[in-house]
Amino acid sequence: MRNDVLDIAKRRGFFWQAFEIYGGLGGFYDYGPLGTALKENIIAAWRKHFVIKEGLAEIDSPNLTPREVFEASGHLDEFADFLTKCTRCGAVFRVDELTGATPGDVESARTMLREGGAKCSECGGELSDPVEFNLMFRTYAGAGMEREVYLRPETAQGIFVNFLNYYRYFREKLPFGVAQVGKGFRNEISPRKGLLRQREFNMAEIEVFLDPDEKVWGDFRDVEDEVLTLLTRGGEEHTLTAREALERGIVCAEPLLYFMARTKRFLVDLGIDEEKIRFRQHPEEELAHYSSDCWDCEVRISYGWIEVVGIADRTAFDLSRHMEHSGVDLRAFRRYSAPVKRKVRKIVPNMKTLGPMFRNRAAEVAAALERADPSSVDPSGRIAVKVENELIVVPPEGFTVEEMEEEVTGERIVPHVIEPSFGIDRILYALMEHAYYTRPDSGYRVLRFRPSIAPIKAAVLPLMAKDGLDNVAMEIHTLLRNAGIRCYYDDSGSIGRRYARADEIGVPFAVTVDYQTLEDGTVTVRERDSTEQVRVRKEELPAILKGLVEETLCFGDVKGV
């Protein structure tokens, strides 16, 4: 079955190994005409399900990202490393942790490891030769190559670093969500399994920013009846509704569960087999460095259960780290429902005396005084403040301590992030496997794409390429294309062969011009899976096909003449 799908993928133009004429390059694929169209249709469906329905802001940030971003995100520390493995127990270690120094290349890593005489700290076994483990592609920006940049391993950072822009865009109110469709790059050690593990891949990510004390998103009632199969960290398997999962505390964060249910609905809507979808919670040790809880949506295909969507609670990790590293305040303001009044003692600088006393540093001293704690005024009435690492003692006449009433309207908080991250290529491949079947009578191959997802919507076929049937069919072909329907004309070989060719790439409808067309202007429309036909007037064809393709009209409801 897998081979049939891969055969169709290559032969008919869905996808194939890239750079083949130069021997190929592992982990890189081309999408051909049909694959590109299919991918676009999947993304369009994703937009409908998430961007539009959830009211997200879709954005587009660069693939190349400066080093600093990944220093902050932790990707550099965690993944640009030399690793060694215990040959006895299989435990994995970082060379820099074992030797206390960071090696520059594999050779020096090996030397350091051997000279240090390091052994496995778990079982004392011998360690393997180190392996370079840098999953990010590095390059340089600028003529002088002065900026080190990396191809992003996820699109998420492009959203986090712009948090303030999106916060402003959403008029400074939580919660809000930002989405991005784009490419991610990971220099996988061994890319495998075709589209499933590429070095350059398509992803669609959502970052939802929430108040940590009020982690809710969407209307849970919309999804509460959705039945989910859940594999918990503890090894239990449950099949229950989202409501039950929430009430029994199987998934702790409500928005996580909400997006899990929405994800399932999206996949089923695409044509993924509902019976072959499950959610698996990451065990502690599998969690990424940034997430506190994560559920993978897995789909069963010929390769087994594969992850197609990851739904993670990234907590305040990313924003906190970018705050530390950039020095920019990335907090949101949580407004209290009513302002809180409170009495405070404050130091008020007296500029009249501070000015002559400190001259050009007076402003800094005043600022330091305002930040200082009134209780640190010493018994003699003086206070010491730090200005540019210098301790300055300000005499009593330089300030007053005043008691005043202050109105506090809110506080600053670091939002938490819920991240549903979709692997578009994996979804596309899984969809192809799930859509594939062979006709029981003939064994002919069919892709059962629903009309809105199918890359090509209609085939226009003259029964015979003569007697003027071909001309009429070509006219209809033009008519349909002008109506915005993606279709093709085919007159080669027998009519049966042409139906089979169309079925193999999942064309849902075939329009056939026959001898009766010449008499009364009607054509037949054939539905792919049932192979049933209905005869309609050719003038009505664009409207009927548009309805069928947009799924506002069912094939069974098409009125024949």
Partner RNA sequence: GCGGGUGUAGUCUAGUGGUAGGACAGGGGCUUCCCAAGCCUCUAGCCCGGGUUCGAAUCCCGGCACCCGCACCA
Residues that bind RNA (CB under 7 A): 3, 7, 10-11, 17, 23-27, 75, 78-79, 85, 90, 92, 131, 133, 135-136, 153-154, 186, 188-194, 197, 286, 288-291, 303, 310, 312, 442, 444-445, 463-464, 467, 492-497, 499-501, 504, 512, 514-516, 524, 526, 531-533
Judged by beta carbon, residue 136 or residue 392, the one nearer RNA is 136
Judged by beta carbon, residue 306 or residue 354, the one nearer RNA is 306
- Alpha-carbon distance 72 to 65, whole Å? 12
Smallest distance from the beta carbon of 50 to RNA, in angstroms? 19
Calculate the CA 11 to chain-centre distance.
30
Judged by beta carbon, residue 11 or residue 412, the one nearer RNA is 11
Smallest distance from the beta carbon of 444 to RNA, in angstroms? 4
The H-assigned helical ranges of 131-226 are 156-160, 163-169
Find all residues with CB under 8 Å of 548, minimum gap 6, and list them. 451, 508, 509, 554, 555, 558
Smallest distance from the beta carbon of 420 to RNA, in angstroms? 12
Smallest distance from the beta carbon of 29 to RNA, in angstroms? 8
Smallest distance from the beta carbon of 151 to RNA, in angstroms? 10
Judged by beta carbon, residue 133 or residue 437, the one nearer RNA is 133
C-alpha pair distances (Å), 489 with each of 314, 475, 481, 497: 50, 10, 11, 14
Smallest distance from the beta carbon of 124 to RNA, in angstroms? 19
Nearest one of 26, 317, 52 to 200, comparing CA atoms? 26
Answer for the pair 229, 273: CB distance below 8 angstroms, yes or no.
no
Smallest distance from the beta carbon of 163 to RNA, in angstroms? 18
Judged by beta carbon, residue 97 or residue 402, the one nearer RNA is 97
Tokens 């938490």 — which residue?
416
Judged by beta carbon, residue 50 or residue 290, the one nearer RNA is 290
- Alpha-carbon distance 461 to 327, whole Å? 65
Burial class (CB in 10 A: 0-12, 13-18, 19+), 486: middle
Query: What's the token pair of residue 492?
Result: 């080669």
Nearest one of 12, 301, 55, 16 to 166, comparing CA atoms? 55
Whether the bond into 455 is cis, omega within 30 of 0 = no
Judged by beta carbon, residue 23 or residue 104, the one nearer RNA is 23
